[in-house]
Amino acid sequence: MYQRPCHFYYNISGERAQELLFRYGSKGEFIIRPSESNKNDYTISVHRGDKVTHVKIINHDGILSLPTGAKFETLLNLVRHIVETQCTLPESDGSLIEMKTNCLIPKEEIPVNGGRDLFFHVGISAIESEELLKDEPLGSYLLRENTLYNNDLLMKKWAKTCGDMIISVA
């Protein structure tokens, strides 16, 4: 199965996250997506067997916080923490939300916007991003973390000018 280098973050709604988790996930698997109530925050949608629970990740001045109070500088660090510790979060009824690993979604399920889909990739190099873009339609682009400077993002665009070329925009 195809795996995105950043296979935990998807620009989808809570309803779509629930649908994908029930189709491809199992108990404890999760997807991180944009918050629908606050554009600066994120939400973790977690498969809990018979239901999906959506947990808010608060973004305060670039620091991401879980409801437990744990804080992280990047989504990647947050995901690493969840996977390495098999993180649990308390539910309002006293039950625990178990999180084990990210849910892998097939490429054909990723939302596409006319060949101009914005993919956020964590921990990939410039060369890896160029390889990914060569398989996409012209005009496609991706956003990746800058491997030289923390909390910096770079955009890559697959364009056709005099010849096929990949353009970096900082």
Query: pTM of the entire structure?
Result: 0.64
Instruction: Mark whether 121 and 76 lie in a shared domain.
Output: no
Instruction: Mark whether 88 and 120 lie in a shared domain.
Output: no
Angstrom distance (rounded) from CA 66 to CA 41: 11
5 in a domain, yes or no?
Answer: no
Contact residues for 163 (Cβ-Cβ < 8 A; gap 6+): none
Domain of 151: which CATH number? 3.30.505.10
140 in a domain, yes or no?
Answer: yes
- DSSP secondary-structure letter at 27? T
pLDDT (tens, 9 = 90+) of the chain, 170 residues, equals 334 445 677 778 899 899 999 999 999 999 998 899 988 899 999 999 999 999 999 999 889 999 989 999 888 889 889 989 988 998 888 889 999 998 988 877 765 443 333 456 655 667 777 777 776 666 666 666 665 555 555 555 544 444 455 555 54
